[in-house]
Amino acid sequence: MTLPGCATRTVEVPVTREVPPVVKVKDKPPAELLRCPETPEGFPLDQVGQMSNATRAAAIRIGKAMGVNATRLRRLVNWLQPDACPAAAK
């Protein structure tokens, strides 16, 4: 950011070497870290159950956190090994 009142002159610095756009990873993670995440089945749809509001809120928090972590892991695995994990079913 340049503040017009503070700048006395503009100096362009030449680039002495080419900057690589991508940094190659030298070491691959262990194989168990490159497995696609497993998504567990949810609650059965043909059953009726009751839970308290606190339990329901906890189940929602846990489900959302598992979904975020599974998405993050799927993206990481696909970044290291393109198209290794299929897209998540919605």
Does position 65 have pLDDT exceeding 90, yes or no? yes
Mean pLDDT (whole number) for 12-25? 73
**Element (H or E) spanning 5, and its range?**
none
Report d(CA 8, CA 5) in Å as an integer.
8
Mean pLDDT of 40-65: 92
What pLDDT does residue 23 have?
A: 66
